[in-house]
Amino acid sequence: MTDLMPPKDCASMADLRRQIDLIDTMLLDLLATRSQYIDRAIDLKRIEGLPARIVERVAEVLQNVTSKAAHIGLDEKLAETLWSELIEWSIERESKHLG
């Protein structure tokens, strides 16, 4: 995140938009990396005989995310909504491969 300027240093909407675009690119890169871990989970779940959906793990991830969001001042509902989508996408992807 070293390429980012603090929001208060954005002198124009053009500056602000450039920063948001950088953040969007960073988020996309992180999501692509996360999806690689989901692909590895498919292999490991197959080896370990685990289902795509593990209810306890879903609850744990959502709890972790909302707790961390609250700690850093991010809206907990936003974090929960975004991660719920990520989790459901991941489970759907795993289900397709696990059968």
Token duo for residue 64:
């972790």
71-to-11, 75, 93 alpha-carbon distances in Å: 29, 10, 30
Question: Please, what is the Cα angle at 38 between 27 and 32, to 5 degrees?
Answer: 25
Sorted by where each starts, the structural domains of the chain and their CATH numbers stand as 11-98 (1.20.59.10)
Q: How far apart (Å, rounded) are the C-alpha atoms in residues 70 and 72?
A: 6
51: left (phi over 0), alpha (psi -120 to 50) or beta: beta
Q: How far apart (Å, rounded) are the C-alpha atoms in residues 86 and 80?
A: 10
4: left (phi over 0), alpha (psi -120 to 50) or beta: beta
pLDDT (tens digit per residue) in 4-36: 999 999 999 999 999 999 999 999 999 999 999
Closest CA to 52 of 39, 65, 63: 39
96 band by pLDDT with thresholds 50, 70 and 90: very high
Q: What is the pLDDT of residue 2?
A: 61
pTM comes to 0.86
Asked whether residue 1 carries a pLDDT value surpassing 90, the answer given is no
